[in-house]
Each structure stands twice: as C-alpha cells, then as structure tokens.
Amino acid sequence: MTGPLRGIRVLDLSESLAGPFCTQILGDMGAEVIKVERPDGDAARRWGPPFYEGESAIFLSANRNKRSIALDMKSEVGVEAMRRLVAQSDVVVQSFRAGVAESLGFGAEQLLEQYPRLIYCSITAFGMSGPMRDVRGYDPLAQAYGGLMSVNGHPGQDPARIGTSVVDMGTGMWGALAIMGALRQLDETGKGSHVVVSLLDTAMTWMSYHMMGYFASGVIPGPQGSRLDILAPYEAFPTRDGWAMISAATDQMFRGLCGVLDITECARDSRYASNATRVQHRDDLHDTVAKATASFSTDDLLARLRTAGVPCAPILNVEQVVALEQVQQSGMLLDSEDTCRSIALPIEWNGERSEVQHRPPHLGEHTSEILREIGLGD
C-alpha cells in the first residue's frame, strides 16, 4: 500500500512524543517525513531504559517512516537549509515553546506570508494564547490540569497518572486529523492553514462526558478504579485465578449475568431493576457479584458469560496481549529486519495496513543525503 498521503512532504520540527506521533501517522499514510533535530537530537532518544540498539523504546514507537537531518538552526548554514526545506514542503509541524519558532524566523505567520499554500501545525502544551501559553507542559501535567488524574485510580489512594501517554498520543492524533482537514481545504481553496492543538485541550476532550455530567448535576466525579460511574455492574471482578472485566450495560445483560452467577434473586430485587437504580446501589451489588465471580476460574467465567451474551474480558498484561491469536492475526504487530517489533497504525485501507517503509532513523542519519537534495551538498 502506497498510502493516501503519497506525494506530501512533511517537515517535522517536533520532539518528545505528541508531535512525533502526529508525523508518524502522516508517514504511515504515505507522506515523506523529514525529521529535523538539534545536533544533540530529540530528547526522547534518551528516555529510558528500555533501549533497543541505543535508542529508547518511546522514541522508536513514534518515529518510523521518517528521515533525520541534524541542524543547528541558529547557524547560517542551518538557517539556509531550513529555508530550502520549508520551500519544498507541504506541511510543517513544530512543538517549540511559545515564541521560539518566531525567534528563529519560522513562525506560522512568517512562513504563511511567504508560502500561502503551506499547512503549519503547532503542537502546544496549553495553546497559543491565555495566561499559560508560556508554561512548559508534558503529558502527566496535562493529565493533572485536565482532570484525568482526578477520576483515575481508586478512591482513597494517591492520585495516579493513566499508565500510558494518552494526552500526548491523543494530541498527535488531533494534529494529524487537523492536517488532513487542512489539506482538504487546500484542495478546495488553494489556501494554507495554521492549525493548533494542545495537550490541555486533548485532556479536556477525554474528560468531556465527565464534565458534561458535572454541568448537568453539579456533582464532581472522583476516582473510579475500573468502574464507569454511569453504569453498573461495569467494572473488574475477582476470579479464582485472576480478574475479569464485566460490562453488563443493559438490563438484559444484567439478567444474563445473574443467571450465570446463580444470583437470580438480584434480577428480581427492586434495587437493581434498572441501570439507574443499580448505579445508586452499586456497592451492595458489587459485593454480591464479586463473591459469586470469585468461585469461577477466569476462563470458565468468561466462557459462560459470553454464551449468555454478557460482554467481558480477561485483564491481560502486555505479554499476554501480544500472544493473543486475535492480535497475531490482526496485522497490528509489525516485524522488521532492521528494527524492533512495533505497533501498526490502527487503520486498514481495503484490507491492507501501512508498512514500515523506514525504520526510526538514527540521529542525523540522512543529513548529507537531504542536504544534497536541497542543493547544499555534503
């Protein structure tokens, strides 16, 4: 598969995770991505262990299908190289602190004035305006500011960051989506765009139904563990040899659960007659269901629940996830001869997934090659 963005050149001036994840999505879709790095490289290269052949796992997870050029953008030759790269690019993605791109001469207004068809994407922590525009931001800070940590973890325990960088990666996704929309608009109008995404905005988006619940009720949501406050029973329950996630989201599913667990009296209990009443009495219901699930093995319980039409899942670790036959056959695990196994773009086009055209580049690996292409020589 050549990808729907074949022929689009992306200049990636970002580092860490949100920006690189954005440009990896574009690269996976077929765009040519040139990653411009400082002479000492993207800081994420050193975020570990774990490392694979000297590169951090987090860097490898967000930088395939790119070439790397190392430039000192404060030097005369670095500035000239950047000018030529911008002139030959369709999209620029940057994640500098507020004002840095402008000080280097590569701000959105500066470039769009010179290249009116350019798509310029700013990956920011807290946006381009407001009192926090200059504040540094990383994923856990946005989780904290955006409310995610207030609903994560279990009641009475220390605040907990969600165990993967959902804000960084989500911001990268919104950036890629915004760029796709801007490219479509370019086709229609012939005009480029400056699109802006931020970590805080992404965190708030992930909190949207919690916030709407607060607007509707005035109740501030708290830590929910594995629960979802608006449904019951909808959480993790113990088994004889592990844990099972049970999502009995309808009255029919709840009756099926009661039948499997031989707690049919719960199905007749007026406290559990509807989801709304089950939510009101969730603690009592949880204790009854948990006592029953603990007598089953995980596999036996899941098999019985699925037969009864009750959605459920084992709670797996990473090793168990990648060993699942469904995952093995899905095409989501990408193997390459010259780099670590990785996770594919979660999209199929007519039954095909994007492939690894280029492993994540070493720092400055393509500097001479790219300098020759833009007419500067080695």
Q: Which residues are catalytic?
A: 168
- Residues whose CB is less than 8 angstroms from the CB of residue 112 and which lie 6 or more positions away in sequence, other chains included: 118, 120, 192, 194
Distance CA(366)–CA(160), nearest Å, equals 40
- Residues whose CB is less than 8 angstroms from the CB of residue 350 and which lie 6 or more positions away in sequence, other chains included: none
- Residues whose CB is less than 8 angstroms from the CB of residue 253 and which lie 6 or more positions away in sequence, other chains included: 247, 309, 310, 311
Structure tokens at 230: 């608006």
Write the DSSP assignment of 110-149 as a string of letters: HHHHH-TT-EEEEEESS-SSSTTTTS---HHHHHHHTTHH
Beta bridge mates, 120: 92, 194
Distance CA(264)–CA(255), nearest Å, equals 8
Write the DSSP assignment of 2-22 as a string of letters: --TTTT-EEEEE--TTHHHHH
Distance CA(271)–CA(269), nearest Å, equals 5
Distance CA(218)–CA(214), nearest Å, equals 5
Beta strands at 55-56 and 67-70: parallel, antiparallel or unpaired: unpaired
Number of Cβ within 10 Å of residue 294's Cβ equals 12
- Does residue 233 have a cis peptide bond before it, meaning omega lies within 30 degrees of 0? yes
